[in-house]
Amino acid sequence: MCGIVGVINGATVAQQLVSGLRNLEYRGYDSAGVATHTGSGIWRHRSTGKINELEQSLASVLEDGPAGIGHTRWATHGIPSQANAHPHMSEGIAVVHNGIIENFAKLRDELQSNGACFTSETDSEVIPHLIAHYQNQGMDAIHATRAAMSRLDGQFALAVLFEDMPGTVLAARQESPLALGYNEKEALIASDMLAFAGHTDAEMHLGNGDLAIVRRDKVIILDPDFKTVDARWTENKTTGQVQCLNGHDHFMHKEIHEQPAILSDLNGHDDQWCQMMAQMPDAMVKAQHISVVACGTSYYAGMTARSWFEKYAGISISVEFASEFRYRAGAIRPGRAGLFISQSGETADTLAGLRHFNNHGCPTIAVVNVPTSAMAREAEMAVPTRAGSEIGVASTKAFTAQLATLLRLAIELGSRNGTLDTKNYRRIRREMEEMPNLVREVLSNEHIIKSVTSLLGDCTSTLFVGRGDCYPLALEGALKLKEISYIHAEGFAAGELKHGPIALIDENMPVFVLAPDTPLLVKTSSNAREIAARNGKLFVLTDDDEAAGFKGEKGVEFIKMPPCTEDQIPFVYVTALQLISYHAALDRSADVDRPRNLAKSVTVE
């Protein structure tokens, strides 16, 4: 969501602030701004729109200095506007903030009664006013910031610049992620160190309640009791090549095409899997039930994986929306374990669910793409998906990597608890080794998928239907289409159409039917017949058009899929669905990599 950057180098920082913000564009935003310490005071500039617009407007008014902070805002409180953009200022204090201050209205009323003048609609503006309030009571900058932090309810990551502290930035966090980095010339602050890819020698993630005093050559971290915290620096191997398109027009397209290589890589790492399984808590191995907790695309990965854990590990599974899970009475019971899925490992609702499980003493596993994330650190066991950095807001390769990791976890767990025999374990491993080539076959037919997708024309609504493991894929296909093309799309279990959704079918309704050759194909074909009988436009994804029962029929479009086993279906069919969404978005001239209103990492509840 919102992005924070900070640079302290003793020279000039504005250009690097803008560069860092550009690297965080993928997180989603509607406005941006920077503040620099010029040596004699704080200079601030903000604008709505894209980073390019900020950079262009900076050219004629830029005042630079040795330390600065920057921000990209994704609106929560108040419309996108220059006044609501960060940094916010009060009495020589500039603040950028990620998160939500839940008690901002009460604090705002209190501060206004003491003479504070607010100029925005945001919750964030209470922070510089609150720090200034405590400074006016005689506190220094550090104690005033800590006092302000103690008054804030909710989630926050902060970077604070003070007029009377040139060359220093204060950084703090509670729940929202914030990291520090350094090289021989500068200290860096970011909500995601991808902002400074290729520029940091080492990085560390602040802990909850930490307050860091960041200077070019020194970092001091204080806990809530003002005790010094040992810095936990780790080597940063991220290169500046992360955001290269490598000949593709969009990051989403590049990341779709990276999936075969990722699947090939995930077929290895046997030694690491042996180590992880040896470290798996016995309570997880013996769990009678696993709650899979996730949001969005990760939730659909969990839905897909449910059948794998039930078939191969013999464990009953429920898949829960993280945003709802912990508010339900009785969600956690004895003998239950938690499996938490998140690309970033910082998804606020999923992280809160993990902590809810931890507080009840239940075993937890996090399946994440970022091994240094909060979820990876706080779960009893973290399983990396190894997808690499994903820049496109709509998740593609991260989803596929989650599926592969979850399938591997299911069979490793089944092997350990005795549910899965050696013969079937080896069969599934062989099928996993075949998946990269099956996905490559789908990608080789991209021109056909593009042609079929063009037939959507100017439709305003679309349905996706499937049975069994294809039901969560239908949900994921619908999500992808609505995310980046802005076509209203819904996914349904094919057998549920007649219980209400079939009322939507007419000659203007395209319906994508996922119809692989499985024992459920005959039932899926019957449901497709019901759609055709009501003049719906059928787009059938199948590896057997004769078995699907529509070969040669007028008005039915086929997307031929390679034959595959039931466990391979999700990997093969979701690749086609990703390409359908991508080309539908291109046909409508949508911003594929940065769709409106969306954020890559959702770090607020």
Q: What is the pLDDT of residues 464-493, one digit of tens each?
A: 999 999 999 999 999 999 999 999 999 999
Q: Is residue 324 part of a domain?
A: yes
Burial 532-563 (b: 16+ CB within 10 A, else e): beeebbbbbbbbebebbbbeeeeebbbbbbbe
Nearest to 77 by CA among 95, 97, 93, 92: 97
Q: How many CB atoms lie within 10 A of CB 445?
A: 15
Plot region of 97 (φ>0 → left; ψ -120 to 50 → alpha; else → beta): beta
pLDDT in tens, 24-44: 887 777 889 999 998 789 999
Average pLDDT in the 114-132 region?
A: 97
Residue 85 structure tokens:
């953009």
- Domain harbouring 206, CATH code: 3.60.20.10
* Domain shared by 390 and 489, yes or no: no
Residue 46 has pLDDT above 70, yes or no: yes
Mean pLDDT of 137-142: 97
Q: CA 391 to CA 442: how far, in whole Å?
A: 22
What's the total number of domains in the chain? 3
Return the ∠ at Cα 390 (arms to 389 and 394), rounded to 5°. 165
Residue 603 lies in a domain: no
Tell me if 595 is assigned to some domain: no
- What are phi and psi for residue 48, nearest 5 degrees? -90, 165
pLDDT value, residue 67? 95
214 with 265, same domain? no
Tell me, yes or no, if 2 is annotated catalytic: yes
Task: Name the band, by pLDDT with cuts 50, 70 and 90, for residue 334.
Answer: confident
pLDDT at 600: 65
Please tell me whether residues 425 and 470 are part of one structural domain: no
**Please, are residues 397 and 255 in contact by the beta-carbon 8 Å criterion?**
yes
Whether the bond between 87 and the residue before it is cis, its omega within 30 degrees of 0, is yes
Q: Regarding predicted confidence, which is higher, 197 or 407?
A: 407
Is the confidence at residue 242, as pLDDT, over 60?
no
How many Å apart are CA 567 and CA 317, to the nearest integer?
17
Q: Please give the Cα distance from 451 to 59 (Å, whole number).
A: 44
Mean pLDDT is lowest, of 152-156, 257-261, 323-327, for 323-327
Within a domain: residue 249?
Answer: no
Both 409 and 554 in a single domain? no
In a domain, 532, yes or no: yes
Taking alpha carbons only, the member of 565, 559, 575 closest to residue 510 is 559
Q: Which residues contact 496 (CB under 8 A, 6 or more apart)?
A: none
* Percent of the chain with pLDDT strictly greater than 70: 96
- 51-60, 70-79, 124-133, 544-553: segment of lowest average pLDDT: 544-553
pLDDT, mean of residues 564-588: 97
pLDDT for position 497:
92
Q: Is the same domain home to 131 and 30?
A: yes
409 and 483, same domain (yes or no)? no
Closest CA to 347 of 153, 177, 539: 177
245 belongs to a structural domain? no
For residues 268 and 315, state if they share a domain: yes
With beta carbons less than 8 A apart as the criterion, state whether 4 and 96 touch: yes
Output the pLDDT for position 373.
87
* Per-residue confidence (pLDDT) for residue 123, from 0 to 100: 95
Quick: pLDDT tens for 88-97: 999 999 999 9
Q: How confident is the model at residue 52 (pLDDT cuts 50, 70, 90)?
A: confident
Q: Are residues 266 and 186 in the same domain?
A: no
pLDDT tens digits, one per residue of 95-119: 999 999 999 999 999 999 999 999 9
With respect to residue 599, please indicate whether it lies within any of the assigned structural domains. no
Per-residue confidence at 51, pLDDT binned at 50, 70, 90?
confident
Exactly one of 2, 295, 362, 470 is catalytic; name it: 2
> What's the whole-model pTM score?
0.87
Domain match, 42 and 153 both: yes
pLDDT computed for residue 389 by the predictor: 87
Among 418, 443, 468, identify where a domain stops. Answer: 443
Is residue 498 part of the annotated active site? The answer reads no
423 burial level (CB within 10 Å; 0-12, 13-18, 19+) = exposed
Is the confidence at residue 243, as pLDDT, over 70? no
Rounded average pLDDT over 255-262: 97
CA dist., res. 305 & res. 283, Å (int)? 20
CA 339, CA 320: separation in Å to the nearest integer? 10
Give the closest residue to 132 by CA, choosing from 104, 160, 168, 167.
160
Within 129-217, strands assigned E span 154-162, 168-174, 179-182, 187-190, 202-205, 211-215
Which whole-number Å values give the CA distances from 378 to 1, 155, 233, 381, 384, in the listed order?
Answer: 22, 17, 18, 8, 14
Exactly one of 254, 397, 482, 600 is catalytic; name it. 600
Q: CA-CA distance, 524 to 518, in Å (whole number)?
A: 10
| Token pair 């909850």: residue | 208
What's the pLDDT score for residue 548? Answer: 65
CATH code for the domain of 481: 3.40.50.10490
597 inside domain:
no
- CA–CA gap between residue 149 and residue 319 (Å, rounded): 36
Q: Are residues 24 and 158 in the same domain?
A: yes
The per-residue pLDDT for range 177-192, each reduced to its tens digit, is 899 999 989 999 999 8
Report the C-alpha gap between 267 and 431 in whole angstroms: 10
Residues 138 and 185 in one domain: yes
Identify whether residues 389 and 452 lie together within a single domain.
no
Task: Say what the pLDDT of residue 69 is.
Answer: 97
The whole-chain average pLDDT of the chain stands at 91
Q: Which residues constitute the domain of residue 369?
A: 254-443
What pLDDT does residue 32 have?
92
